[in-house]
Amino acid sequence: MDEKRPITLSVLTPDGEVCRVECDSVRLPVPDPKDGGAPGGTVGIRRGHTDALMAVFPGKIEAFADGKPVLSCQLEGGIAVVSENTVRVLTGKDPRGE
């Protein structure tokens, strides 16, 4: 596996893809696994992460490249799908406020 290749973060709304960045890591807010209704913290995703489907809590999503933020925006919540070094976040509206 080529550890230097980036992962891709794609944010999708009912209107289509609203942003796509290549990065080294992604941080997503997730609900508390016990009740699903309270903020549980964050999940970090890096290259090689196992495939996953997870709820995303309202809060800040962040992507980093070389330790520096390349995307930071508020999300109303949604679902994240992690597969083949791609993170797709499905949400109701554009987190960039556009």
pLDDT digits (tens, 9 = 90+) for 76-98: 999 999 999 999 999 998 887 76
Q: What are phi and psi of 61, to 5 degrees?
A: -100, 145
What ranges do the domains of the chain cover? 7-91
CB atoms within 10 A of CB 45: 22
The pLDDT score that the predictor gives to residue 95 is 80
Residue 40 confidence class, pLDDT cut points 50, 70, 90: confident
Q: What is the pLDDT of residue 1?
A: 46
For residue 8, how many C-alpha atoms fall within 13 Å in the half-sphere facing its CB? 10
Please check the confidence at residue 42 and state whether its pLDDT lies above 60: yes
Indicate if the pLDDT at residue 7 is higher than 70. yes
**15-19, 37-41, 59-63 — which is least confidently predicted?**
37-41
pLDDT of residue 62: 96
CA-CA distance, 7 to 82, in Å (whole number)?
Answer: 10
The topology (CATH level 3) of 7-91 is ATP Synthase; domain 1 (2.60.15)
The predicted model scores a pTM of: 0.87
